[in-house]
Structure 1
Amino acid sequence: MLAACSPEPTTAPEASATPTPPVAAKRPYEVVAPHGAKRQDEYYWLRDDSRQNPEMLQYLEAENRYADAVLAPQQALRDTLYAELTGRIQQDDSTVPYRKSGYWHYTRYEAGQEYPIHARRKDAIDAPEEVLLDVNALAAGKGFYRIGAFELSPDQTLLAYSDDTVGRLQYRIHIKDLSTGDMLPDVIDGAAPDILWAKDQKRVFYIENDPVTLLSTRVKQHVLGTDPSTDTVVYEETDKSYYLSLYQTTSEAFLCVHLESTVSTEDRCTPAANPGAFEAMVPRERDFIYYADHLNGQWFLRTNWDAPNFRVVRAASSDVADRSQWQDVVAHDPKVFIGAMALFNGFLAVEARRDGLNQLRILPNDGESTPVAADEPAYFMELDVNAEPDTDWVRYRYASLATPNTVYELNVKTGERKQLKQDTILGGFERNNYVVERVWAPSRDGTTQIPVSLLYRKGFEKNGKAALFQYGYGSYGSNTEPVFNSTLLSLVDRGVVYAIAHVRGGQEMGRDWYEQGRLMLKVNTFNDFIDVTRYLVAQGYADKKRVAAMGRSAGGLLMGAITNMAPDDYRVIVTQVPFVDVVTTMLDESIPLTTNEFDEWGNPADPAFYEYMLSYSPYDQIEAKAYPSLYVGTGLWDSQVQYFEPAKYVARMRAKKADNNPLVFRVNMEAGHGGKSGRLQRFREASEYQAFMLTELGIKQ
């Protein structure tokens, strides 16, 4: 229950020689929980779901002008960084082609262009190119553009694709005739990105988004040539805690709806040749998670049933719902977390995470499991595109903080390995100039060791003088992998040590690592991050007064929490699209993601969860004390973390903080959760916050 009070003007000064930050009006607004608890939210008025309130827009624009003024002295450094960041990428690059249905598919970029070109060649890699989608042409004249998905019809003559022109994850589906290049009149609005074709090529399946909550609850069927308003619902989910997505099995025999909540999943499938009702493969249960795939008449399931760290089982089509008939393919191991799997004729490939590092295993049908080797102390492997199962070659990706993304093919019969491509890094990059290290930081509980991935320049000395840039996330069981990121080189080359804190709430150390960082144990995530910082400082990796931290989205919650909990440990904090108003958001079921995430954060309608969430919610815990320098970024059209969360956070922080450290709020008026859509535009954003961070760390060139 929300109650509004009378307005008061907002002060939004123009930029001047001595920048003065905007002052947002305070308007009493009471937020009442179902159990009667009340909180004042004096900046609630900044919320406008239409994004059209002139006063709100005026305030955001004033913040941008203030940011311009504060950051103006850093222009030269920003320009230098942008030149470095863009100077490392090979602008006319291309992905490794993969074969599917008689075509070689790939994506390429042209020099100076922001967006990719998706193309194919028939039969041979040197055949004439056919452009499927030139995203540069589609994005022309638009401030934001993103392709969600594109799917070819079974005979490869039609292309269905989804696009988003705002950044709010409300997609429009189009269908293109590849033989003529013409667009069909069929246009479907208000959809999720996923698309599936029936084998008859006359029907496509998609997910309808709710226009307000963006929840995806209905799967619909569209018949080509008919009015989308007459599309039929083929499946509707009534439980709003589930996300929906679509996939086709490896055998291409089934079309499936994957339903996923925090603690439960269900796969519902129908024959692709004759789609009917989407039937559950195994009925859902709380705390039961599985993903089903099909090949050669058998179903394979990755599941946590009797296996907290997951296992892979197989069953005949007639027995897939009968768990007593499941046979282990990859048995449960309490020290190994089983991730993604890929099915092939004759073998299975799985991602297996041990000691926080993702490794690949190959399991022949008639032999022993074989791990794929790595040579660095911190690295990342994952399955790449393996589009056709009838092959002896498995394709995978390898990278580390110092090794650029590399695509390999491994022959499971001979053991031969081919390097198909390694990303070219320009600008004088030399792999041997960098050191990757893996350390374990003790947590304050005295029993937990937190894995930390480090990157620094060769010749670095642990003398307690360096600057440290520490990154973290720690939510949803999502892992922060030690992968190559060329933008980090500009920091490391200036003597900064880069660290990833693999804190609880992720799944790096297995399912229990996630369980220890959610719901009523969420504070472990924040404590772990602070403990890593203090350990690295104590070990001489950094000067206590030269520590920077960064996180985005739920990682922005992490940043907001540590800003309140340990402000003296950080000189500067960068937070992008931060989830900082936990309680108000989780009380409002009209906001996208809220109902899906009660099992992640808790439902504040319960007094116990309410009080616990309130105890760490960054917006609610701001106090009249000194804080680090802050750079906060958001996108006006963000659907994941609405712009008004960071806007309110910045307004309250400005009103309460007792220091003169800069607080910059950058609002991208044309972007959503992922920031600007063009690849070069993203480097402009990175160069801005990097220049801010380096300046605050005492590095000004």
Structure 2
Amino acid sequence: MKTKSLLSISILIMILSCKNEQSMNLNSEAPQAKKIEKKLEIHGDVRVDNYYWLNDREDPEVIDYLNKENKYLDDNFDNRTKDFQNTLFEELKARIKEDDESVPYKYNGYWYITKFETGKDYPIYTRKKENLDAEEELIVDCNELAKGHSYFSLTGLNISPNNELAAFGIDTVSRRRYTLHIKNLKTGDMFSETIENTTGGSTWANDDKTLFYTKKDRETLRSDRIFKHKLGEDPSGDQLVYNETDETFLTYVYKTKSKKYIVIGSSTTLSDEYRILNADTPDGEFRLFTARERNLEHNISHYQDHFYVLTNKDGARNFKLMKTSENETAAENWEDVIPHRDEVLLQGIDIFSDYLVVSERKEGLNRIHIKPWSEDSEAYYIPFESETYTAYTTTNVEFDTDILRYSYTSLTTPPTVIDYNMTDRSSEIKKVSEVPDGKFDPENYDSKRVWANARDGKKVAISMVYRKGMEQNGKTPLLLYAYGSYGSTVSPSFRRNYFSLIDRGFIFAIAHIRGSQYLGREWYEDGKMFNKMNTFTDFVDCSKFLIDENYTSPEHHYALGGSAGGLLMAAVVN
């Protein structure tokens, strides 16, 4: 889907950026959708949608109209650019390594691997016992399960503590309503019981027979109920453990990295609540961690006899780290571990037996802070030099290790998996994602970060990548991408498909506009609700800056955004 979307975008941009502009003679008249007035009222406000009738995807008249749109596209666009489409398609395909596999990670005595094989569309999940020279054991081959289905998705692969059972969710409709399946890894047989209408995720208790899972509302798809299933029993009799009745919240269940607690979480945009249960006693009663409060965000991690709480409590806008005894978990018992800092956004933690690893963002850049539990050892940061990179911790499921696994990427560097020894500070590159087209060379490209002046005096960062030798003369085509919503930060990472544009002389740039958390929580809050206009004006001001600084021109400046970024595009062009 992503490749198809980028193919269409690339073709359109290439056509628009042609220097020898020519009018296109159209082969047919564009279809016109009829207008049928539909009044929609909410909170006393009436909105008229003349095209609401197109919402019914089963209506023969809707289908007929869409067929006409597709024919118009074929007659006036697709048929005229088939050679170019084929060239781009082959370029994009050549950058994908079809026979690929993940870096193995070890968990509970097994090394787990995800593989892709040439000519197959779906992953194959395998494992090896104790060491990587051991015989490979098949967990799930998604290609086999996908046979006979036009759509297939597997999620939530979850292994029991005794390593003998695997639970996972399958969706063959594309509605994200997964059916849970359980497989016996010793025999290779599937258990007869299946559980429908779930999120696909599940969590085993420590008894190897109790499985907690989340069900969805059939209409809204909100995850609203947690159930408990006993292996071998009829799922229709599964016990409802928790029902989230507040329609603004969704619920989920997981096990702490310490393996001691099953946790039920409930979350909405600005509030969280948790319930905990000892994983050794799955038939016990869940205990409330602390009562939900409006605007109190937090998540919890367990270590030894404490819970560590990442939270915005006490006005900690950029979040801070607190801890509390596992026996006294109410908010009034929380104590500061890492205080709030105005200039640093605290994003997450990874707990090891000897180290606390803190993920931060300062001045827009990711930082990984290594903090030994021992007071005799000093804390330090993993060094990064670029200003257009992304670094984050990845699969770190083992407690008793001094190896931290993290991923590094930049606008010119493919995703790289690194094992970092937190004791001697040495690094081992485990994998660099291959670009197998035989043409890509990172030495052919440059990237940098510049700052645009917003109209209210704020500085807005722009990350960009281009071929070396690019002349800043105002004649270069430039594609500016942004999102700017929900606190989601578009980090500067490697985007292999966009090199079809870059190799044809484009600059690809990302505007880190307000609505994201690029410069901390305030950056997000300054781009939402009554401050939403800042998201739009930031993008416009970034565009003006790039033109004024001769990176591009009004004639060759292009913009891209999807989903909430689509709202951004609609706003800036109007």
Task: Verify same fold: TM over 0.5.
Answer: yes
Distance 1:24 1:436 in 2: 44
Equivalent in 51, 58, 63 of residue 57 of structure 1: 63
Distance 1:357 1:64 in 2: 43
Query: Within 5 A, what are the aligned runs for 1:576-587?
Result: none
Q: Residue 508 of structure 2 aligns with which residue?
A: 498
Q: Residue 303 of structure 1 aligns with which residue?
A: 311
In the alignment, is residue 460 of structure 1 matched against residue 470 of structure 2?
A: yes
Q: Residue 241 of structure 1 aligns with which residue?
A: 248
Q: For 1:581-616, what per-residue CA distance to the aligned partner results, in whole angstroms no more than 9, with x for missing partners? A: xxxxxxxxxxxxxxxxxxxxxxxxxxxxxxxxxxxx
In the alignment, is residue 553 of structure 1 matched against residue 563 of structure 2?
A: yes
Contact in 1 for aligned 2:270/2:295 (Cα 8 Å) = yes
Deviation of 1:325 after TM superposition, in Å, equals 4.4
Distance 2:285 2:551 in 1: 59
Distance 1:140 1:459 in 2: 49
Letter of the structure 1 residue corresponding to residue 276 of structure 2: C
Tell me which of the two structures has the higher relative contact order, counting C-alpha pairs closer than 8 angstroms and 6 or more residues apart.
Answer: 1
Q: Residue 569 of structure 1 aligns with which residue?
A: none
Q: Residue 470 of structure 1 aligns with which residue?
A: 480
SS at match of 1:83: helix
Letter of the structure 2 residue corresponding to residue 164 of structure 1: D
In the alignment, is residue 213 of structure 1 matched against residue 213 of structure 2?
A: no
Query: Within 5 A, what are the aligned runs for 1:39-54?
Result: 39-48=47-56, 51-54=57-60
Q: Residue 382 of structure 2 aligns with which residue?
A: 372
Query: Within 5 A, what are the aligned runs for 1:9-158?
Result: 18-35=27-44, 37-48=45-56, 51-69=57-75, 70-158=77-165
SS at match of 1:78: helix
Q: For 1:515-568, what per-residue CA distance to the aligned partner results, in whole angstroms no more than 9, with x for missing partners? A: 11111111111111111111111111112111221112111211222232xxxx
Distance 1:521 1:72 in 2: 45
Distance 2:419 2:488 in 1: 26
Q: Residue 649 of structure 1 aligns with which residue?
A: none
In the alignment, is residue 284 of structure 1 matched against residue 295 of structure 2?
A: no
Q: Residue 345 of structure 2 aligns with which residue?
A: 337
In structure 2, relative to structure 1, the CA distance for the partners of 1:20 and 1:137 (3 Å cut) is farther
Q: Residue 264 of structure 1 aligns with which residue?
A: 271
In structure 2, relative to structure 1, the CA distance for the partners of 1:324 and 1:167 (3 Å cut) is same
SS at match of 2:461: strand
Deviation of 1:187 after TM superposition, in Å, equals 1.0
Distance 2:66 2:538 in 1: 34
TM-score where L is the length of structure 1: 0.76
Q: Residue 451 of structure 1 aligns with which residue?
A: 461
Bigger mean CA deviation after superposition, 551-560 or 222-231: 222-231
Letter of the structure 2 residue corresponding to residue 33 of structure 1: I
Letter of the structure 2 residue corresponding to residue 562 of structure 1: V
Aligned-pair Cα RMSD in Å: 1.6
Whose strand fraction is larger, Structure 1's or Structure 2's?
Answer: 2
Letter of the structure 2 residue corresponding to residue 55 of structure 1: E
In the alignment, is residue 392 of structure 1 matched against residue 402 of structure 2?
A: yes
Distance 2:312 2:459 in 1: 25
SS at match of 2:101: coil
SS at match of 1:229: helix
Distance 2:193 2:417 in 1: 37
Deviation of 1:512 after TM superposition, in Å, equals 0.7
Deviation of 1:324 after TM superposition, in Å, equals 4.2
In the alignment, is residue 404 of structure 1 matched against residue 411 of structure 2?
A: no
In structure 2, relative to structure 1, the CA distance for the partners of 1:519 and 1:72 (3 Å cut) is same
Contact in 1 for aligned 2:244/2:250 (Cα 8 Å) = no
Distance 1:218 1:61 in 2: 40
Distance 1:67 1:248 in 2: 50
Letter of the structure 1 residue corresponding to residue 138 of structure 2: V
Equivalent in 227, 231, 235 of residue 234 of structure 2: 227
Contact in 2 for aligned 1:300/1:315 (Cα 8 Å) = yes
Deviation of 1:415 after TM superposition, in Å, equals 1.0
Deviation of 1:34 after TM superposition, in Å, equals 3.2
Distance 1:27 1:522 in 2: 31
Letter of the structure 2 residue corresponding to residue 468 of structure 1: L
Letter of the structure 1 residue corresponding to residue 211 of structure 2: V
Distance 1:226 1:63 in 2: 51
Query: Within 5 A, what are the aligned runs for 1:153-232?
Result: 153-232=160-239
SS at match of 1:319: coil
Distance 1:376 1:103 in 2: 36
Deviation of 1:225 after TM superposition, in Å, equals 2.2
Equivalent in 308, 318, 335 of residue 326 of structure 1: 335
SS at match of 2:544: helix
SS at match of 2:500: helix
Contact in 2 for aligned 1:205/1:220 (Cα 8 Å) = yes
SS at match of 1:143: coil
Distance 1:56 1:107 in 2: 41
Q: For 1:468-515, what per-residue CA distance to the aligned partner results, in whole angstroms no more than 9, with x for missing partners? A: 111111111111011111101111011110011111111111111111
Q: Residue 451 of structure 2 aligns with which residue?
A: 440
Deviation of 1:344 after TM superposition, in Å, equals 0.3
In structure 2, relative to structure 1, the CA distance for the partners of 1:464 and 1:183 (3 Å cut) is same
Deviation of 1:368 after TM superposition, in Å, equals 3.2
Q: For 1:233-284, what per-residue CA distance to the aligned partner results, in whole angstroms no more than 9, with x for missing partners? A: 1001111111222221110111112221111111222111112333221221
Distance 1:278 1:450 in 2: 46
Distance 1:153 1:61 in 2: 49
Deviation of 1:163 after TM superposition, in Å, equals 1.7
Distance 1:523 1:72 in 2: 40
Q: Residue 592 of structure 1 aligns with which residue?
A: none
Contact in 2 for aligned 1:235/1:278 (Cα 8 Å) = no
In structure 2, relative to structure 1, the CA distance for the partners of 1:132 and 1:62 (3 Å cut) is farther
Distance 1:42 1:66 in 2: 22
Deviation of 1:126 after TM superposition, in Å, equals 1.5
SS at match of 2:163: coil
Contact in 1 for aligned 2:348/2:358 (Cα 8 Å) = yes
Contact in 2 for aligned 1:315/1:327 (Cα 8 Å) = no
Q: Residue 8 of structure 2 aligns with which residue?
A: none
Distance 1:358 1:74 in 2: 41
In the alignment, is residue 351 of structure 1 matched against residue 359 of structure 2?
A: yes
Q: For 1:440-491, what per-residue CA distance to the aligned partner results, in whole angstroms no more than 9, with x for missing partners? A: 111111x211111100110001100011111111111111011111101111
Distance 1:317 1:104 in 2: 31
TM-score where L is the length of structure 2: 0.92
Contact in 2 for aligned 1:103/1:124 (Cα 8 Å) = yes
Give the aligned length: 544
Distance 1:472 1:303 in 2: 28
In structure 2, relative to structure 1, the CA distance for the partners of 1:119 and 1:20 (3 Å cut) is farther
Distance 2:31 2:529 in 1: 36
Distance 1:277 1:523 in 2: 47
Deviation of 1:230 after TM superposition, in Å, equals 2.0
Contact in 1 for aligned 2:261/2:276 (Cα 8 Å) = yes
Q: Residue 633 of structure 1 aligns with which residue?
A: none
Deviation of 1:229 after TM superposition, in Å, equals 2.2
Q: For 1:626-676, what per-residue CA distance to the aligned partner results, in whole angstroms no more than 9, with x for missing partners? A: xxxxxxxxxxxxxxxxxxxxxxxxxxxxxxxxxxxxxxxxxxxxxxxxxxx
Deviation of 1:340 after TM superposition, in Å, equals 1.8
In structure 2, relative to structure 1, the CA distance for the partners of 1:284 and 1:109 (3 Å cut) is same
In structure 2, relative to structure 1, the CA distance for the partners of 1:58 and 1:231 (3 Å cut) is farther
Bigger mean CA deviation after superposition, 87-96 or 376-385: 87-96
Distance 1:426 1:298 in 2: 47
Contact in 2 for aligned 1:340/1:351 (Cα 8 Å) = yes
Deviation of 1:17 after TM superposition, in Å, equals 7.4
Contact in 2 for aligned 1:359/1:380 (Cα 8 Å) = no
Unaligned runs of 5+ in 2: 1-24
Deviation of 1:38 after TM superposition, in Å, equals 2.0
Deviation of 1:33 after TM superposition, in Å, equals 2.5
Contact in 2 for aligned 1:170/1:214 (Cα 8 Å) = yes
Bigger mean CA deviation after superposition, 22-31 or 231-240: 22-31
Bigger mean CA deviation after superposition, 276-285 or 370-379: 276-285
Q: For 1:282-333, what per-residue CA distance to the aligned partner results, in whole angstroms no more than 9, with x for missing partners? A: 22111111000112222111111131101112222123324344131x2221
